[in-house]
Chains A and B, each alone.
Chain A
Amino acid sequence: MDTSPINSSLGIFPSSWSEKRAGRIPGNIPIWVGILSELTEFGIFFIAYFVAKYNYPEAFSEGPQSLSTITGVANTVVLISSSYFMAKAMANIRKNNLKGCEKFLWLAFFSGCLYLCFKTWEFHWNDVQGFSTNSSPFFTVYYYMTFNHFLHVGWAACAILWVIFRLKKGAYSAENNSGMEALAVYWHMIDLMWILIFPLLYVLR
Chain B
Amino acid sequence: MTMFSFSKLEYLWLTLLAIILFNTLLGENVESTALVSILVALTVMYKGLIVIDHFMELKDANKYLRRMMRIYFIFFPSLIILSAFF
A residues in contact (CB < 8 Å) with B: 19, 22-26, 32, 36, 39, 43, 46, 50, 53-54, 61, 64, 69, 73, 76-77, 80-81, 83-84, 86-88, 90-91, 184-185, 188-189, 191-192, 195-196, 198-200, 202-205
Contacts and interface: CB of A to CB of B under 8 A. Distances in A.
B27 A195 contact: no
Given A26-B58, A39-B72, A204-B32, A192 B51 contact: yes
A191 B27 contact: no
Interface string B48-60: 1001101111101
Interface of B: 9-10, 12-13, 16-17, 20-21, 23-24, 26-28, 32, 36-37, 40-41, 44, 47-48, 51-52, 54-58, 60-66, 68, 72-73, 76-77, 79-80, 83, 86
Given A39-B72, A84-B13, A188-B55, A196 B48 contact: yes
B24 A36 contact: no
A196 B72 CA distance: 11
Contact of A195 (B12, B51, B68): B51
B57 A36 contact: no
Contacts of A83: 51, 55
Contacts of A84: 9-10, 12-13, 16, 55
Nearest to A72: B24
A50 B79 contact: yes
B48 A195 contact: yes
B9 A80 contact: no
Given A23-B61, A50-B79, A69-B28, A195 B9 contact: no
B71 to A, nearest CB: 11
B24 A203 contact: yes
Given A23-B63, A25-B62, A50-B79, A204 B13 contact: no
B83 A53 contact: yes
A46 B62 contact: no
Contacts of B80: 199-200, 204
A39 B79 CA distance: 16
Nearest to B12: A84
B13 A81 contact: yes
Nearest to B24: A73
